[in-house]
A and B are shown apart, each in its own frame.
Chain A
Amino acid sequence: MTALENSVKENTSSVGKGNITSMPGSHRGTGSGRLSLRGQKRTLSSDISPAPELRASHRIRTNSSGDGDSHKGVRGSSKGANAALSGSGGIIGIPYSHRAVQLGLRRNPSSTLSYTTNSIHLSSGGESVGSPGLAGGRVAGVCPLANLGNTCFLNSVLYALRFLPGFTHDLHHLHTHLQAARGEGDESVQHRVQFLSELHSVFAQLAKEESNVTEGKRLPALQPYPFLQALRVVNPMFEGNRQQDAHELLHCLLDQLCHLPQDLVKRDAVVKNLSNNASLLSPRPSSPPHKKARRRSERIQALEEDNSKAVDVVGSKFVGRMCLETCCSECEKVTGREETFLEVCVPVKTKADFDDDEPPSECEVFMSALCEEECLQGNNKYWCDACSHHNEARRSVHYPQLPHHLLIHVKRFSSYSRNMYTSKCSDAMPAPLHLACFCRTCLETQLHQQINSSYHSIVNSSTEMNANNSGTKSKVSSSIRSSAGNKQAKDATTHLPYELSAMVCHLGASLSSGHYMTYVRVSPELSSACVDQHGCVGGDYAPAAPTADAAPPANGSHAGISAASVPADSSECLWGDCCALKLDQILPQFSATSLTNGYASDVEAKSSQHKSTNKGAFTEGRNKQLGKSNSKAIASNAASASGFWLECDDEKIKMVTAAEVLDRMKGTLITPYLLFYSRISINSC
């Protein structure tokens, strides 16, 4: 792998350097005007993502990087290309100057000063979003991501994924697997592997930074530049410095996660047949790779045997099946087609869309958006083959199977194709923090119970008449119930409720001018995987398995693959030391304060396992210190909603309570755009 990679890296870095030299003057020039510009910053455009502070980050990188030469190469190039990027970004006059302004600010090494300037920004911009919440300040233990120039779309998604319970763990195993299979395949597959590997390394670096945290110092922001670069290679749409749609990015990412492993498996099958001959006929240029290749292919063969188990872990957790059904209102015949989905797109619905006299609860509004029914009527009637007539019809969405990670995309942007203008719907549609499973089986069970109960009430009200009949009635209903009960017990793991774990919010008026920030929930589940000795089955990982199992191989590719999949080489799971999010470091106070929910001990146990000795000592000291200041406030709020929330706005990470998050969702300022739900893990319920 080395030969090829190196040459590529050299190329990019040399290009980058070339660009750098052409533009250095402008940097300083604009930078000098920073003070006068600062006031307008927020008002001009809400995406004022600060530009990376090149020199500082370079220093940090080299300081912290001790983990291998391959990274070094990448970093070198990143630095170069980064500068080139800001240079070319200068084409757009204003954003560039902004970045320069930011640059100036960030250059100040003193964290306290940074803080104050930041809060000034926020207050002067009138954004109550940033107004101090519970803890008011930053969370020192979490390493933030730097904005590389309009890359808040990227950061917001990375934050959300990082805090999605189990995601980094699964990704870690996918990564190890891919590394094993690396070097095979054509260039595009290579790029895609590289892309996922960069994603993994972002998380790994974040974890690394966090483990190096020192008391009282804010962690410098990480620049996910290699990842951005790899993304642009995989999908040229993200080239350039424009604002991008976080949703597109997420889609691209999931697409890779779902399809790359399959493509690899397929290709492997083909390659395996040819590889022996091929390697004999055309000896590779250098012998070490040759050896490696053989070893690799052996490993691949071994892996292949259980490939279908392991590979697809990450992707399959996002895949569900939905069914679009059309019911003719005359003959009531239902025609439907089932397909898999990665995300559920829901329209923005508000209470105003409903009957005025009995306003539904927010949760009902949300559910109605999820299971929206559309009526084909007026000039859009449905041609019913059975009736040979255009009739009204009802089109509805059902979910035969819901994924472990449920992504909800709120359709806030509607485009009018005429003038390429997209308008945004900013109505508030509060998302519930907890969402019961709404797959078809669950809803039907629910309906049965409802009807039974309403039926019984009616029966009771006319008891004399129904005296005889009610006996049989209740027999029936009880049998229904009991069967439903059985089912529920059986599917207990498949139908666990969802918990909102992250949401990407879009601020601003349109897709091309706006800003993304992310709210993530911090819960003990985040680091609770891989507790058990026997492989990685534990924490939230377990519930996923039945989900996949329960899926009849719908399109073979996704379902039935992972089961209780233990990646082949994961007998020792290194996730915890690699890219795992360690709560004890992030939120020392979290484990220090007494958590009423009962998973505090879990966290404690976890942290003790993962702590290296010196870290542990440090953390304890830190706990004491921070605990004093925050424990009261936190403890009081901790009980109200499970977990804390972090507001991640590029470099700024703040702690908020669940209640605050709920409050903000009721307003129209933060408009949740992508919602990440994850099934509650078995451990915590």
Chain B
Amino acid sequence: MSMIAGHRHSSSHAARKKVQISFVIRDKVEVCHRSAVNALQYDPALHRLFSAGRDSIIRIWNCNARRDPFMQSMEHHTDWVNDVVLCCNGRNLISASSDTTVKVWNAHKGFCMSTLRTHKDYVKALAYARDREQVASAGLDKTIFLWDVQTLTALTASNNTVTTSSLNGNKDSIYSLAMNAAGSLIVSGSTEKLLRVWDPRTGNKTMKLKGHTDNVKTLLVNRDGTQVLSGSSDGTVRLWSIGQQRCIISRRMHCEAANENWSRIFCGGRDGSVWVNDLRFQESVRLVCKEDAPVLRLLLTPDTSELYVATTNSHINSYSLGRRLLDQCFDEPLRNHTGASNNLHSDSPGPVSPKDVSGAASASLDNGGHSAQMNDCVLGNGVGEASDEEELPLLSGCDWTIPGGPSIRHAVILNDKRHVLTKDTDNNVALYDILKAVKVEDLGRIDFDQEKERRNRPIFVPSWFTVDLKTGKRDEVDCLSAWVSIRDAALHSPHDPTSYDIKINYGELLLKSLFEHWPRTYYHEDDDEAGNGGEMTPHNGTSHHHSPPGNQYFSIPPHTPLIISEVQGRTLYRLLCGDAGGETEGVLLQETVPPWVLDIVLDKTTPKPKNKVYFYLLPHPSSGIKRDKKDRLSANDFIQVRKVQEHVAEKVLNYGTNSNSDNSSNNNASSNTPTPTPNASGEDKENSLLPEDRVQLLCNDKVLDGNMDLRTVQHFIWGNVSQDLVLHYRPLK
């Protein structure tokens, strides 16, 4: 399942930008989009559809195999993919993502060729000039970069520098971009509410076009670069003449528009309706279809026979538009279709409009309410009046649908800080095990909150990770703070009593297993002994430094994506866990893995327990014991009550005098708190009488269970974290 990521980082490395490790829990193959689809591209030669999703994956669909269209998913982005452009006659795909990168893909084989990291913020839009094989990218960092596609595709690992020209001048975040095929004109739309026009050949600003009253979300330029069509969040679609530098047509609630060259425009909007508009005739607006979610992107195939609609839910719907159908819908049959098809198809379909169905007649203008908005292309249309006469869509249903999956909307970390309960858009509840990076169980449509209550055990474990439903920003947590008794973790083999009291660290275990395929973690090179060159030949490496990979308890699925990124910042590296054995991956890992991780996975350093519980140990009034001294003691927070009982029995009440007692009491509760030694309790078994049978501990007059650890006592029974815990003991007969 995609969409869940655990993030961990150490707060101890403040010097450089902090680096965090995250991973995604998912199925081996994710065959459908889990979230909204932001962009579509169509390869007419192979009848393939490329869709870019907010689940960070670009998928390739075979449009000839409607039953099982999924071909491949292209995963490398780590955040929303906002736009894709197919270039070089379908050989390459360029994608823009909110992870601030632009990536170049081999579209036929579906692998990532290179990554461009010039943008400093989300990359929102791409534009493509077919004749010159030039691509422009723009985003929230207000800059536009121009790329030569041939150069981009020629990049290799060694030859990885690329020159680019940038177009500056935008004062606000850019949300839309368009270039004409000849590459003589580039237009950008931004929250500045105006269009800026450049000549990409010279980099000169040519003009500004003012008129919209809100963000410009979508743009189209006609072939010769004389007209621009823009769709804005203000609910209007405008047609601009570049020659006259002004708006020729503005359609508010009605569709409209046009001009000789572009005969038809499709537009869709936030209300989910898609409209078609014949630009030559005022009245020629028809509702094409109705989606149940805001339309994000429309794509018209070059032969104008099919219209693909992507919305904020994860489906992609395809509508077939017979020529006849369209002709009928307009008052006059159109004699010349060629113009229409040429224009719309070119880079992307068209557009869209808003409209608000809820529709008060004048509603489309308010920018205050939920008024109309144009997500994608062009055209507004007016349902305003449609309220009287409900217009029926030309197409009542879609032709076929590329199904999408539900996306997770809520996630709660359970008290054990290991399991996460999620609810998706279909209201299905599922349980995930973060430690093993797997989905444990699908619980179906049950009550989320009840289930949460039911599964929360009264145990306290410090936070060591955060869950992120594809967000981008994370809270900071010390991932190595979670020491858990292996018993609580239920990882021990039930038949091995010696493992009973071993303490494990969740963070350590997880890191080890995440990197278990990385050769460096099990073939140890020893830098101090320079003569030992065994690390390059894995098969010899067993000599004296070989340690078992991963951790001895479990391993996580190899298809789990592992992401190394700066905290609140850019992704440094992403790979699948199982690929860590590859040569280039190893090199890159070496560069990117932060030192605090290396400490664990390479040097096998066990993190030092840091969290202490301070407490007073006093005789319970009912015991009749008088003791003047009030001892303030400290212990690691994961120490179990049993250990304290031992301490009381042996040190305070002086019951036991055998040699073990020193050992165990040291472990427990003296002020110097050494790390626990696993064998202590094993030897305790030799005592005929267990300490918990001799001494009772109480907190707030509640008798404590020996298996409870101190932090749980502190949080659930004592209830006041800021105040020192007070424990009372009384001997049992």
Contact = CB atoms under 8 A, between A and B. Distances in A.
Interface of A: 325, 329, 331-334, 355, 375, 377-379, 381, 383, 387-390, 392, 394, 398, 440, 444, 447-448, 451, 454-455, 458, 461-462, 465-469, 472-473, 476, 479-480, 483
A480 B175 contact: no
A389 B366 contact: no
Given A375-B191, A392-B140, A332 B233 contact: yes
Interface in B290-342: 294, 312
A390 B473 CA distance: 8
Given A383-B473, A394-B191, A479-B361, 19 more contacts: A332-B233, A332-B370, A332-B373, A334-B368, A378-B140, A388-B469, A389-B470, A389-B471, A392-B140, A451-B365, A454-B250, A458-B248, A461-B248, A469-B254, A469-B282, A469-B283, A472-B385, A476-B384, A483-B362
A461 B241 CA distance: 13
B411 to A, nearest CB: 10
The prevalent SS among residues of B at the interface is loop
A495 B434 CA distance: 59
Given A329-B215, A379-B568, A462 B470 contact: no
B249 A390 contact: no
Contacts of B249: 458, 462, 465
Nearest to A470: B282
Interface residues of B, number: 48
B202 to A, nearest CB: 21
Contacts of A480: 362
Nearest to B409: A388
Given A394-B191, A476-B361, A440 B250 contact: no
A392 B173 contact: yes
Contacts of A476: 253, 361-362, 384-385
A333 B270 CA distance: 10
B369 interface: yes
Nearest to B142: A377
B362 A448 contact: yes
A321 to B, nearest CB: 14
Interface string B199-218: 00000000000010101000
A468 B568 contact: no
A387 B409 CA distance: 9
Interface in B431-473: 469-473
Nearest to B472: A390
B121 A383 contact: no
B368 A451 contact: no
A334 B369 contact: yes
B54 interface: yes
B282, B362, B409: residue with the most chain A Cβ atoms closer than 10 Å: B282
B80 interface: yes
B191 A444 contact: no
Nearest to B244: A461
Interface string B359-388: 001100110111001000000000011000
Given A390-B473, A461-B248, A444 B370 contact: no
Contacts of B280: 465
A329, A394, A473: residue with the most chain B Cβ atoms closer than 10 Å: A329
Interface in B344-362: 361-362
B252 interface: yes
B247 interface: yes
A440 B407 CA distance: 37
B112 to A, nearest CB: 22
Contact of A447 (B256, B365, B469): B365
A458 B283 contact: no
Contacts of B171: 355
A354 to B, nearest CB: 10
B172 interface: yes
B248 A462 contact: yes
Given A454-B211, A458-B247, A466 B368 contact: no
23 contacts: A329-B215, A332-B270, A332-B370, A334-B368, A375-B173, A377-B173, A378-B121, A378-B140, A379-B568, A388-B409, A388-B470, A388-B471, A389-B471, A394-B191, A451-B252, A455-B252, A458-B247, A458-B248, A462-B249, A472-B254, A476-B361, A480-B362, A483-B362
A325, A388, A462, A480: residue with the most chain B Cβ atoms closer than 10 Å: A388
A135 B253 CA distance: 58
B570 to A, nearest CB: 12
Given A377-B173, A467-B282, A333 B370 contact: yes
B173 A389 contact: no
Contacts of A458: 247-250
Interface in B478-530: none
A479 B385 CA distance: 12
B368 A325 contact: yes
A334 B270 CA distance: 13
Nearest to B79: A389
Nearest to A388: B469
A472 B389 CA distance: 15
A71 B472 CA distance: 67
Contact of A465 (B247, B270, B282): B282
Contacts of B98: 389
A329 B175 contact: yes
Contacts of A334: 368-370
B146 to A, nearest CB: 23
A459 to B, nearest CB: 9
B343 to A, nearest CB: 18
B331 to A, nearest CB: 10
A331 B282 contact: no
The 3 A-B pairs of least Cβ separation, nearest first, read A469-B282, A332-B373, A390-B472
Nearest to B283: A468
Contacts of A333: 370
Nearest to B248: A462
Contact of A377 (B140, B469, B472): B140
Contacts of A473: 254
Contact of B191 (A329, A389, A468, A469): A329
A388 B406 CA distance: 13
